[in-house]
Amino acid sequence: MTVVKLQGISRAFPLGNNTVTALDKLDLTLDKGEFVVLRGASGSGKSTLLNLIGAMDAPDEGEVFIHGQALSLLSDKAKSQLRSRYIGFIFQAFNLIPVLTALENVQYPLSLQKVPDREAKARAEKALAQVGLADFVDRRPNQLSGGQMQRVAIARALVTNPDIILADEPTANLDSETSKQIMDLLGTLNRETGVTFLFATHHDFVLSRASRILELKDGHIVRDEQPQNLQLVEEVHLGEKLG
């Protein structure tokens, strides 16, 4: 099932008297359950792409479809409803609310959806248990490690049962061991819940966990591969070397 479709997307930003083209006539389809890594040098357009899919920004040309719904036809209110219903976000800086406990942070998106308190609390507890934080529900962000804060942020993204979770460098502020644990957790959640993940990252160890690897360069997708194919390519090269 297609969750996201981008058709002929272009996005440019003004820079002095010039414009910088961040994305250039880009097409992309993401299906339910994919675990997609988005790579590319700094400035290649990764964040711009995530912002467009997350309905946080609009393209200059082309159309973004979420569940077949063209975003350009929606009012701001309808867009934020669609965002809250179908899309979860995980940020590099965690973006937790400091005065709220872990439980309250995770409950927050449900209160925006007007889910009754009791149900919201039960769902938030379940999401925190899913990320291994059942014993930390009453802690505030400053009483948690970086890895634990990112787990709270993951629980907050999951709690609304989104179809897709967008993550911009989710492991950028974590040490490598914690980053690996967080990636393993995202992989497990992807398999268990079927949620599609799309995350921008510079970390190479993530590649072995991906079901699809996209690479952006100068606003274009220059690579779109499944790891099995990658392995095949590596084997062929190896075969060539051995042969």
**By CB under 6 A, is residue 201 in contact with ligand ATP?**
no
**By CB under 6 A, is residue 90 in contact with ligand ATP?**
no
Among 26, 30, 35, 40, binds ligand ATP (CB under 6 A): 40
First to last CA, the chain: 42
Among 3, 44, 125, 160, binds ligand ATP (CB under 6 A): 44
Is the torsion defined by CA of 210, 214, 217, 223 positive or negative?
positive
Name the one range near ligand ATP by CB under 6 A: 15-23, 152-160, 173-181, 223-231: 15-23
Strands ordered across the beta sheet of 164-168? 87-90, 164-168, 196-200, 35-39, 212-217, 220-225
Q: Are 48 and 22 in contact (CB under 8 A)?
A: yes
Among 1, 43, 78, 175, binds ligand ATP (CB under 6 A): 43
Q: Are 34 and 2 in contact (CB under 8 A)?
A: no
Site for ligand ATP in 47-76 (CB under 6 A): 47-48
**By CB under 6 A, is residue 123 in contact with ligand ATP?**
no
Nearer to ligand ATP, 22 or 110 (CB): 22
Write down the least CB distance from residue 47 to ligand ATP, Å. Answer: 3
Crossing angle of helices 146-158 and 102-112, in 10° steps, is 20
Write down the least CB distance from residue 32 to ligand ATP, Å. Answer: 25
CB atoms within 10 A of CB 142: 9
Nearer to ligand ATP, 46 or 79 (CB): 46
Query: Residue 59: left (phi > 0), alpha (psi -120 to 50), or beta?
Result: beta
**By CB under 6 A, is residue 13 in contact with ligand ATP?**
yes
Token pair listed for 71:
């975003």
Name the one range near ligand ATP by CB under 6 A: 39-47, 58-66, 79-87, 134-142: 39-47
User: How many whole angstroms separate alpha carbon 153 and alpha carbon 43?
Assistant: 25
Can you give the binding site for ligand ATP, defined by CB under 6 A?
13, 15, 20, 22, 40, 42-48
